[in-house]
Amino acid sequence: MTQISRFTGEIVPIAQVVTGDGDESAAPQGGGGFADYALVSLHCLRIYLDTSYRMTIDLLKEMPQITGEIGLSKADLPAPSTLCKAFDRISM
């Protein structure tokens, strides 16, 4: 298990509790939005990796195990602009 995998395994359950949508599907279905816990987890990974939103998404496209821990697939990953805008709308 890599450090990124351990970090993701710790952050996803925390994000699910904090956002209160742990039972929700991470990826949008039928035009819905991403689950807040998935967006928070992606943002935390961006900080952990010390990269831009775009670079984080590019890296995660090559890490199916990590995206799977969040509940996403390579095809489900949001565009960097979606991730940036979504994090701005989440109340702190």
Rounded (10°) angle between helices 36-49 and 3-19: 140
Mean of the pLDDT values across residues 56-76?
Answer: 92
Helix (H/G/I), strand (E/B), else coil: 65? helix
The span from the CA of 4 to the CA of 29, in Å, is: 27
User: What letter does residue 18 receive in the DSSP assignment?
Assistant: H
Give the whole-number percent of the chain exceeding pLDDT 90.
53
Domain ranges of the chain: 3-16+33-90
What tens digit of pLDDT does each residue of 5-29 get? 999 999 999 999 988 877 778 877 7
